Amino acid sequence: ALRDLDVDFVCIGASGVAGYAEQVARLGGKHVRLIDRIDDRELLASAYAGASAFVFPSWTEGAPLAAMEAGAAGVPLVLSEMSSEREYFGDDAAYVHPADLKGIRAAAARLLEYPETPAQRQNRSSRLAGGLSITRHADETWSLYERTIAEPREASSPAPVLMDVSALLHFLPVAHPFTGIPTVEWKVLP
C-alpha cells in the first residue's frame, strides 16, 4: 500500500512467522526498514515520537498495545475498521479496511502531505494516555469482578451460557467477507 510513497516504512518488532519479514522487505521495496524488537522503552518511545504516522490496519487485533503506545506518544494513527479500534481511539485515528490498499495509501499520504502540528499531537497524547491507562483498566476490571461476585445467583438455576461474538459484531457493518474469528463465531450461533 505504501510502496510508491517516498517515505521510509519502519516495522519494529519480532516477526512471529518464519520468512514473513523477508516477504515484507521484498514486496515493500527500497523504503522498508525492519527493526527487531526494542526492549529499551525510552528508545521505543523515541521511535514512536519520530514517526509521521502509525499505520496498523490489522485483520483481527482490536486496540493493539502498539497502537495505544503510538497514540499515547501523539502519533497520528491509521487503524483497522475491522475490530474494536474505533471504540478505543474514537476520533483520534483514521480507519481503513485491511484489504483496502488504496484507502491505506490515501490515509498515510494525507498525513504526510498535511502533517499534524505539535499541539495536535500533544492533544492526542493527553487524551489517549489518560484514557488508556493501565491503572484505569485495572481499577475498572476489579470493579467489574466485585460487582459480579456481589450479585447473588440461585443455586438451583443453571449457569447462563455466554458467548462473546464481539469480533463478529465488528465485521457486520463492513461490506467485506468474514475471516478468522468472526467466521467461527458466525458458524456457532444458533
Residues in a beta bridge with 93: 77
Which pTM was predicted?
Answer: 0.71
State pLDDT tens for residues 130-181.
777 778 878 888 888 888 888 776 666 676 666 666 666 666 666 555 666 6
Cα separations in angstroms, 177 against 7, 84, 105, 168, 183:
31, 17, 21, 11, 9
Query: Tell me, what's the pLDDT at 179?
Result: 61
**Span 79-103, average pLDDT:** 91
101 contacts 49 by C-beta, under 8 angstroms: no
